[in-house]
Amino acid sequence: QQQVKQSPQSLIVQKGGISIINCAYENTAFDYFPWYQQFPGKGPALLIAIRPDVSEKKEGRFTISFNKSAKQFSLHIMDSQPGDSATYFCAAPDSSYKLIFGSGTRLLVRP
């Protein structure tokens, strides 16, 4: 019930395309859903986050779509760029503020 399942494991997108990464959770008590971006050899950086009282949040080219009834949320990267090539993690904090991470998605944006 504490798991966050993330897919796909890897993704290849052409420059200018849309990258879509999906996550699903079981615990209905989760109330905060961040996405982190990690470049090789670096720590994860907070990219965008959403609370379940809204269905969508957009920041620049990055959008989170949230479906509370399906217990799913997804990250959309519009106009994907080679510089977006990184590993993306979805997450949700439990009641003790520990982050439950998805398994990660390695995104490669081809020029």
Partner 1 sequence: GAVVSQHPSRVICKSGTSVKIECRSLDFQATTMFWYRQFPKKSLMLMATSNEGSKATYEQGVEKDKFLINHASLTLSTLTVTSAHPEDSSFYICSARPPGQGRKTQYFGPGTRLLVL
Q: Does 106 bind partner 1 (CB under 8 A)?
A: yes
Q: Does 2 bind partner 1 (CB under 8 A)?
A: no
Q: Does 97 bind partner 1 (CB under 8 A)?
A: yes
Encode the chain in three state secondary structure.
CCCEEEECCEEEEECCCCEEEEEEECCCCCCCEEEEEECCCCCCEEEEEECCCCCEEEECCEEEEEECCCCEEEEEECCCCHHHCEEEEEEEECCCCCEEECCCEEEEEEC
Of residues 66 and 102, the one with the C-beta less far from partner 1: 102
Q: Please list every residue from 30 through 89 that binds partner 1, using CB under 8 A.
A: 31-32, 34, 36, 41-46, 49, 89
Spatial contact of 45 and 37, defined as CB atoms under 8 Å apart: yes
User: What's the closest the beta carbon of residue 79 comes to partner 1, in angstroms?
Assistant: 26
Of residues 31 and 79, the one with the C-beta less far from partner 1: 31
> Which residues in this chain contact partner 1 in the complex, by CB under 8 A?
31-32, 34, 36, 41-46, 49, 89, 93, 96-99, 101-104, 106
